[in-house]
Chains A and B, each alone.
Chain A
Amino acid sequence: MDIATHVFSALYQFGDAFAFLVLSACGLAVIFGMMGVINLAHGEFIMCGAYVTAAAVHAGLPLPLGILAGTVVSALVGVLVELAVIRHLYDRPLDTIVATWGLSLIATQGTLIMVGSTMAGVGTPFGSFQVGDYSYSIYRLVLFCAALGVLAALYALFNWTRFGVLARATIQVPHMAAALGVDTRLIYSLTFACGAGLAGLAGGLYAPTMTLVPTMGATFIMEAFVTVVIGGADVFLGTAPAGGVLAVVKSVMTSWQGQLFGQIGLLVAVIIVVRVLPKGISGFVLRERT
């Protein structure tokens, strides 16, 4: 064992943690950043994406198409949820939390009733490679690239497209945007669908790596919440750096004391960060800039 393999091992664990945090959080962050709504059913959208992906793969589709199907179906469910529930609660953010929690209960238990307590999984593709004494999964590297890709795509979406401009206008001053002829309700619907779709994408990407159970959403939400709380309202200035910082905490704690202590480290990091930076990293950065 020389230094290089140690460094590679640490980098690999960091990348793995970073991908998990960013992928599971970005859907939540988009919805929260845009609408100030915390979607507690986020984990269930992830579960939905994973289930649809698995079902599509079992039906004979290749995995990338399956993931696409999971993303699209989650986004469509997101539109329905927005129309039926979220739309009526925009002026009551606390009630949105409660309502989405109700939705999450319905989704978890409903899936348990309809699909059963577990679903046949999908094999992890690509196999593994060897560095030093340890072997590493190639798919984990793919996930890391996917996380970077999602961040890049979101950046492009919000900065270079017409939807992005309208969406940012709607965040800043909703009334003004509406007065200028922007259909803010449509923007909200699309944003919610975008967040739900990102959750579905996370579910689809992680479907090959975990057991598919109705409560699988719970394994994601803690990390997702923690990242969004630390990051604050902005996806690029908040979620990405928060993902980076937390990935260091998590990978160091995990390799030192095990999985659980990685999560405990995250939690302690959150409580300390919110005490020091109440508006999260993005709030801190924005205040420094002005």
Chain B
Amino acid sequence: MTGLFSLFRRLEGPQTVGRGPGFWSLFAFVLAVALAYPLFSDGYTVGNTVYFLVWVFIALSLCVIWGYGGSLSFGQTAFFGIAGYGYGVLTLNFGSGYGFTLLALVIAVAIAALFAVLLGYFMFFGRIAGVFLGIVTLAVTLMLERFMAQTAGPEWHIGTARLNGFNGMSAMPPLTIPWPGEPIVLFADVGLYYFVLGLLVFVYLALRILMNSSFGNVIVAIRENPERAEMLGYDIRRYQLITFVVGAALAGLSGVLYTAWGQYITPSSMGMTAAALPLIWVAVGGRSDLTSTVVGTLVVLAAFQALTIYGSQYALVFMGVLLVLTVLIAPNGLVLGAMNWIGRLAARFTQRAG
């Protein structure tokens, strides 16, 4: 019991912004609104919101690797794609009965994580760091995209699942929860919304605990000064590898959910543009904090979609400008800056009151 309690105490700490009753009551309020939201909306809009939430996982993965771990990875979309394709291949081969889609989700995420172990071993144990890490991961991602894009012919298949080259795979079954009587099929509306929302809340809280635990403190120490962390006796390569794998698994989860949401996955979801977008959300939100990343991702995504509707081709230009300006003017991120400002304001207010 005390073990559980100490676990919950890690929900707040030095590595995450937001603490105290004020923050958690706001959290509960936002969660309540999110839970009640489908009651006041239609299926299409809810399905679109699921699309936003799906991307938050990959943003969180980048937040962990880049923001907390300090290793800039351009390869998150590679894990996204691997897990997405993995889910497609598995479910197209074995169908969706007996809750297999949930098992496929786990296996697909595990495949992405395994790939990250392999790649991460070569990178971190080869002591690649800084800019080289970014380049190697980017090269892997682009390679994977090119490889998948040329799998158009009928000879490219795994089991009965055709890879279909540039057009990608489609028509895989959505996630299905086995239920006595009739299995619950999570189509891209209310059902999937609650599933993804639940998963997101779980991942968010778990990451808060992880980042405030000793593991989180060590990876932040490595980000701040690798030599010093090593002198203190930490095997930084192992910590970096674990961080990388955790991030890859999250990106993979994003990929599986995306595939299950739209029932398709294409190679371009791993391309240059696709790889740039998570970076923009995380940089603009505030890469060194989980909450800022979640908020930033949702805000930028919503803005991007609105821009795409009204100014279609200028949306990407605008995103590029936003990224450059953020790096130049607010390198820690806009949302994080705003949250820190509010925090200082609140602190001053309570001081004056007390």
A-to-B contact residues, CB < 8 Å: 32, 36-38, 85, 88-89, 92-95, 97-99, 101-106, 108-110, 112-113, 215, 218, 221-222, 225-226, 228-229, 260, 263-264, 267, 270-272, 274-276, 278
Contacts and interface: CB of A to CB of B under 8 A. Distances in A.
B327 A225 contact: no
B317 A110 contact: yes
Given A113-B314, A222-B139, A278-B127, 4 more contacts: A37-B131, A99-B328, A229-B136, A271-B122
A98 B132 contact: no
A272 to B, nearest CB: 8
B2 interface: no
Contacts of B131: 32, 36-38, 93-94, 97
26 contacts: A88-B328, A93-B130, A94-B131, A95-B331, A97-B72, A98-B279, A101-B279, A101-B323, A102-B320, A102-B321, A102-B324, A105-B320, A108-B316, A109-B316, A109-B320, A113-B317, A222-B139, A226-B139, A228-B135, A229-B135, A271-B119, A271-B136, A274-B132, A275-B122, A275-B125, A278-B128
Contacts of B126: 274-276, 278
Given A98-B323, A102-B324, A264-B147, A229 B272 contact: no
Interface of B: 72, 119, 122-123, 125-128, 130-132, 134-136, 138-140, 142-143, 146-147, 150, 272-273, 276, 279-280, 283, 313-314, 316-317, 319-324, 327-328, 331
A228 to B, nearest CB: 8
B135 to A, nearest CB: 5
A38 B135 contact: yes
Contacts of B125: 275
A106 B324 contact: yes
Most chain B CB atoms below 10 A, which of A32, A98, A104, A109: A98
B317 A105 contact: yes
A201 B284 CA distance: 34
Contact of B134 (A94, A112, A226): A94
A37 B272 CA distance: 20
The 10 closest A-B pairs by CB, nearest first: A102-B323, A105-B320, A106-B320, A275-B126, A102-B324, A109-B316, A99-B327, A38-B131, A102-B320, A225-B135
B45 to A, nearest CB: 28
Contacts of A98: 72, 279, 283, 323, 327
A218 B126 CA distance: 26
Contact of B140 (A88, A101, A218, A267): A267
Nearest to A276: B126
B39 to A, nearest CB: 39
Contacts of A272: 122
A277 B219 CA distance: 25
A94 B127 contact: no
B143 A264 contact: yes
B150 A260 contact: yes
The B interface, classified by DSSP as helix, strand, loop or mixed, is: helix
Contacts of A278: 126-128
Interface of chain A, main secondary structure: helix
A288 to B, nearest CB: 18
Contacts of A85: 324, 328
A99 B327 CA distance: 6
A103 B122 contact: no
A92 B142 contact: no
A136 B148 CA distance: 31
Contacts of B321: 102, 106
Given A38-B135, A229-B135, A263 B146 contact: yes
Nearest to A273: B126
Contact of A215 (B150, B272, B283, B331): B272
A275 B122 CA distance: 6
A92 B132 contact: no
A122 to B, nearest CB: 25
Given A101-B279, A102-B321, A105-B320, A222 B327 contact: no
Contacts of B127: 278
Nearest to B319: A105
A14 to B, nearest CB: 22
A206 B147 CA distance: 24
A93 B133 CA distance: 12
A105 B273 contact: yes
A38 B134 contact: yes
B73 to A, nearest CB: 11
Contacts of A226: 139
B135 A105 contact: no
A173 B29 CA distance: 56
B327 A95 contact: yes
Q: Which has the most chain B C-beta neighbours within 10 Å: A93, A102, A113, A275?
A: A102
Contacts of B331: 92, 95
Nearest to A275: B126
